[in-house]
Structure 1
Amino acid sequence: MSPRSSVAPVVASGTVSAVKLLIATLAFAGAYLGVEATYGTPAQPAGAAEQARTVELSSRSMPATAQVPAPGTVTVSAVDALGPCDRPYQARSLVENNDPRATVSYGWRLERWSPGTRRWQTYLGIGSGFSGESQTVEWQPRVVNNPGWYRVVLSVSGDAPLRSERFLVSC
């Protein structure tokens, strides 16, 4: 058996793999560019000036609780609904930092009451942190198509969790 005949299947196999990889790469790039073209810059339809909407920020768009919450409390207020069952909320709390040189880590949780288990269960969550002086922290969770009782929990490193009052989300 000559060395040339034993190498030919390996080279052919490698060439086929390289061609498959090239085709897959081109397909992915084409799909990416198609999505980019579709969602990138929207085309202006005829009469676009008539369809333009002015967005006005007012006290109706943002909650009226723009004040700094008292330490040790979490306030939750509803923001204007985005749809028949799309409810955004804004949670706020003051997180104190006794040592401005230290970093404070905190996490938000939106919990939903489960009548079946008769317990609060995590529905959404996010974590963050800051360093420096005490800060008012905010979070804007959304509840979509899931009516029930909810509450917001703020966990700050080194402190007991803070819980908001429960609130009802309905459609």
Structure 2
Amino acid sequence: MGTRSTAVLVSGTANTAKVFVAAFAFTAAYVGFSAYDTASSAPRDEHTVTLSARETPVTTPMTSPMTTPIGSSVSPAAPGTVTVAETRSDAGCAKTFTARGVVVNPDAHGTALYTWRLARLSPDGHVWRDYLVDHDGFAGTRESVDWSPRVTGNPGWYRVELSVRGAGTVKSRRFQVTC
């Protein structure tokens, strides 16, 4: 009986030693790979970039026949018109506008689908090009709709267009964004 338990004890110790050696080899390989990876990720040469900007003070708020100064509310629109007001001006050349219109559903029993477009007059002054576009819709006969497009770093002439599927397009008067 003593020989048999000694044989089990020796074979168990051998298996434990094999597992220990395998675990040690795995740990050593992992640590070595991690050290290699860390060494190969040494910092690259740094390049310094100097940015400059010119700031021009705003002496009067931007207004045009169809816009209102910042902080004033946008007047409610009537069907067939789009009103636009500058509602926020951030540092630099970032301006947020609120456009408002009334959509009358051409199919009172269906869904009214409409599209907002912020169009920018091309630099040559001949073609209006889409700058931002948004789509929406509602079920019902009539609804007042709002949209808040944002212009960042792109001065020029703009207008807002509201297109209703099956009913046509209404355009605001143009307005100028300056920086």
- Using the size of structure 2 for normalisation, the TM-score is 0.58
Partners of 2:138 and 2:161 lie apart in 1 by 18
Give the equivalent residue in structure 2 for 1:68.
76
Contact 1:63 1:90 in 2 (8 A): no
Percent of residue pairs bearing the same amino acid type = 43
Displacement, 1:109? 0.4
> How many pairs align?
111
Give the equivalent residue in structure 1 for 2:136.
128
Give the equivalent residue in structure 1 for 2:160.
152
Partners of 1:72 and 1:145 lie apart in 2 by 31
Unpaired runs of 5+ residues, structure 2, are 1-68
Displacement, 1:118? 1.5
Name the SS of the counterpart of 2:88 in structure 1.
coil
Displacement, 1:61? 7.2
Q: Which moved more, 1:87-96 or 1:117-126?
A: 117-126
In angstroms, what is the RMSD of aligned CA positions?
Answer: 1.8
Partners of 2:132 and 2:106 lie apart in 1 by 29
- Using the size of structure 1 for normalisation, the TM-score is 0.60
From 71, 92, 95, the equivalent of 1:87 is: 95
Displacement, 1:116? 2.7
> How does 1:86-105 map onto structure 2 within 5 Å?
86-97=94-105, 99-105=107-113
Give the equivalent residue in structure 2 for 1:54.
none
> How does 1:18-57 map onto structure 2 within 5 Å?
none
Displacement, 1:133? 3.3
Quick one: which amino acid aligns to residue 114 of structure 1? S
Larger Rg: 2
Displacement, 1:100? 3.8
Displacement, 1:98? 5.3
- Cα offsets for 1:94-131 (capped at 9, x unmatched): 00125542100000000000133620000000101000
Partners of 1:143 and 1:119 lie apart in 2 by 19
Displacement, 1:79? 0.7
Name the SS of the counterpart of 2:85 in structure 1.
strand
Quick one: which amino acid aligns to residue 64 of structure 1? S
From 106, 109, 132, the equivalent of 2:117 is: 109
Name the SS of the counterpart of 1:168 in structure 2.
strand
Give the equivalent residue in structure 2 for 1:168.
176
Contact 1:98 1:134 in 2 (8 A): no
Partners of 1:76 and 1:87 lie apart in 2 by 12
Contact 2:157 2:175 in 1 (8 A): yes
